[in-house]
Amino acid sequence: MSRPRLFSVPEAIATELNLTELRTHDGAGRVLLSGRDLAIYGIDKALDEGAEELSPDEAKEIFHI
């Protein structure tokens, strides 16, 4: 089983997906979402709009999980 893809996305994307209340925030306007969260929105579209793919270690450091 492969590891899930993790993304730091602008809050506007999470708001459009109705996930702002359900996901972890970094306190600087970004939200941690999985690739599964972004499947409907489109990962390429999210990346074009400022999302960044993170390693699990980066996600832990940035989002304090």
pTM, whole model, 2 decimals? 0.92
User: Any idea where the domains of the chain sit in the sequence?
Assistant: 7-63
For residue 13, give the amino acid letter.
Answer: I
Write the pLDDT tens digit of every residue in 14-64. Answer: 999 999 999 999 999 999 999 999 999 999 999 999 999 999 999 999 999
pLDDT band (50, 70, 90) for residue 2:
confident
Edge-to-edge strand order for the sheet containing 52-54? 30-34, 6-10, 52-54
Residues 6 or more apart whose CB falls under 8 angstroms from that of 25 comprise 11, 31, 32, 63
